[in-house]
Structure 1
Amino acid sequence: MPVNRKDMAAQAPVLWQFAISHYAEKARWALDYKQVPHIRRSLIPGPHIARVKRMTGQTAVPVLELGGAIIFDSTRIIEAIEKAYPDPPLYPADREARERALELENYFDEELGPYIRQWGYFMLLPYSSTVTALFTSQAGLGKRLFMRAIFPLVRPVMRSKMKVYPAEAEAAREKTIAAMDRIAREVAPSGYLVGDSFTVADLTAAALLSPLVMPKEFPYKLPAAIPAPMAQARAHLAEHPALKWAAGIYARHRGKSAALAEETVI
């Protein structure tokens, strides 16, 4: 009996995200890797706050609706996905290897994700057209025009919330490179961070490095012209083993989208 796509969509998990967010990329990669049919709702930064706060009591994305539960935080989201859809696994079966993978996931969540974002926005926020295009890459003309109109109000909020200032950005750059150095040290002869197969540790590290890697497998349109500060940073780090490793992980494991439908929501 043929599968009814409408019935699938009615029961499917719903991922609330920023399309460009590297933490959202971590969550949707897990869904895509396991080929879990799901719905994506891409929010516009700024106006998203009221909606997400009503759903979760906080303001960060990604948020996953799964089996009646509303889950926020990419690590908790992957934990829920792993329980509901265990194959193919992202957690190693061996207890010691699993603990190691989870420890690395936590390290990258705390020591890479916030800092690459802070440094990245320091380089990008002066370029309004680039940032608004990133925020609305899959949206229609009306929502793109809306984002351009409100961005002068959104930008100072982002700068304040993420502390996107020169001294803090330089410290964030150093933290990002330190995390990249750790990836280079941790990669095993197998090419993976833990054991001989792809795990949540590899997914997390590669997804959180995506703003610098800009892999062709990234599921949303990236700007054709990169602002000079970001282009220079990428050129300077182009030969770093971690970026080459992350590009390889994307090529081998990013796979095709399992999204049933997508919508941009204001």
Structure 2
Amino acid sequence: MLELYQFELSQYSEKVRLILDYKGLEYRKIEVTPGVGQVELLQKSGSRQVPVLKDGSTYIADSTEIAFYLDRKYPEKPILPEDPLARGQCLLIEEWADESIGLKERKAFIGALNQNQSLRTAFLPQQTPDVLKSLVGAIPGQLLDVLGTGVGFGREAVKEANKGLKQDLEALCLILEKQPYLTGNTPNLADLTVAGLSIFLKFPEGSYLDIPSSLKGKGIPGLADNSSFDTFFAWRDLLYTEYRKGSSTPTTGNSAPTTISIE
């Protein structure tokens, strides 16, 4: 069985999970422990970044390389169009989404966590004591902004990320008003990439991700709750309904993520 080394709350891991589900491939999720687990992953695969796919004795790192590998090895349900124009558009959108939505969304989501106490505490493990939850929630958003400035997640960086994401979502809505998928009448890698990377914009409803139920349907204020982007989120949610399997489905192997060990 295919094995996916991942973080559950990684947009790029979700991109690969959606591709695997779309193709109907069985796989097992292996949750990588940040830090030590990434060192172990480096020893196994040559990469410390998730996602990494293991197929037999072959390791493939990087979500785009995984997508290309899966289409070569398991071509029954292709995600790359044969038509040259559609293929070119698909590859352009996939690369753009990785570098635009993927990166800006991360900054915008961290900014939302900084400013939203309930969103911030909802990400703590369920077994976290109430006292600690209260302490985390009580940290002033202004302090978190200051701390984030030094690593590229300050208030201005977050503001620019939100501005760019609004333009991205407007463009996607305009495309989807005229056709069912981003490059035509059939979903492909462009659609699966954009949909998978968008989880932080607004978490999908349903049991697709192992997250607290209170977070489902929630996301970045000003984006997730903006009616101007209803077309995009309706399209994304329909794609999930049709192709994404629930996180507890047997096709993912063990329902509870596990840490990795050296073989």
Answer whether TM exceeds 0.5 for this pair.
Answer: yes
2-structure distance, mates of 1:24, 1:248: 20
Is 1:131 matched up with 2:123?
A: yes
Q: Deviations over 1:96-152 (max 9, x none)?
A: 21121111111101111111012112222575543333xxx8xxx7xx89xx9xxx9
Structure 1 residues 213 and 87: alpha-carbon distance in aligned structure 2, compared to 1, 3 A threshold: farther
Q: Is the 8 A contact 2:18 2:243 kept in 1?
A: no
Shift in Å, 1:44: 3.4
> What is the deviation of 1:235?
5.2
Give 1:35 deviation, angstroms: 1.6
Distance 2:208 2:224 in 1: 23
Q: What is the alpha-carbon distance in structure 1 between the residues aligned to residue 213 and residue 29 of structure 2?
A: 24
AA paired with 1:253?
Y
Identity of aligned residues (%): 24
Name the CA shift for 1:160/1:81 in 2 (closer, same or farther; >3 Å).
farther
Give 2:253's aligned amino acid.
Answer: L
| Contact 2:16 2:67 (C-alpha < 8 Å) held by counterparts | yes
Q: Verify the 8 A CA contact 1:217 1:254 in the aligned structure 2.
A: no
Query: Within 1, Cα distance between the matches of 2:71 and 2:222?
Result: 35
| Residue of structure 2 equivalent to 1:261 | 254
Mapped to 2, the partners of 1:18 and 1:204 lie a distance apart of 17
Provide the rounded CA distance (Å) in 2 between the counterparts of 1:30 and 1:161.
35
> CA 1:173/1:247 → structure 2, altered by over 3 Å: closer, same or farther?
same
Give the structure 1 partner of residue 4 of structure 2. 15
Q: Which residue, 16, 25, 37 being the options, matches 2:14?
A: 25
Q: CA deviation at 1:74?
A: 0.7
Cα 1:231–1:108 shift into 2, 3 Å: closer
What is the CA distance between 1:194 and its match in structure 2? Answer: 1.0
Question: Which of 253-262 and 176-185 deviates more?
Answer: 253-262
Given that residues 12 and 197 in structure 2 are in contact (C-alpha distance below 8 angstroms), is that contact kept between their aligned partners in structure 1? yes
Q: Does 2:194 correspond to 1:205?
A: yes
Gaps of 5+ in 2: 137-143
Contact residue 17 and residue 62 of structure 1 kept, 8 A: yes
CA distance 1:62–1:51, change in 2 (3 Å): same
Deviations 1:124-182 (A, max 9, x none): 2575543333xxx8xxx7xx89xx9xxx9xx99x9589622211111111222222122
Moved more, 240-249 or 250-259: 250-259
Q: CA deviation at 1:85?
A: 0.9
Q: Which aligned pairs between 1:120-199 and structure 2 lie closer than 5 A?
A: 120-124=109-113, 129-133=121-125, 163-187=152-176, 189-199=178-188
Q: Indicate conservation of the 8 Å contact 1:209/1:243, yes or no.
A: no
Conserved in 2, the CA contact under 8 Å of 1:30 and 1:78?
Answer: yes
Within 2, Cα distance between the matches of 1:48 and 1:166? 31
Amino acid corresponding to residue 110 of structure 1 in structure 2: E
Does 1:242 pair with 2:232?
Answer: yes
TM-score of the pair, normalised by structure 1:
0.76
SS of residue matched to 1:171:
helix
Q: Segments of 4+ in structure 1 off by > 4 A?
A: 125-128, 158-162
Q: Contact 1:190/1:196 (CA < 8 Å) preserved in 2?
A: yes
2:243 maps to a residue whose letter is H
Q: 1:252 aligns with which of 226, 233, 242?
A: 242
Change (3 A) 1:162 1:183: farther
**What is the CA–CA distance in structure 2 between the aligned matches of 1:160 and 1:42, rounded to whole Å?**
29
Of 214-223 and 103-112, deviating more is 214-223
More moved, 44-53 vs 69-78: 44-53
**RMSD value, Cα:** 3.1
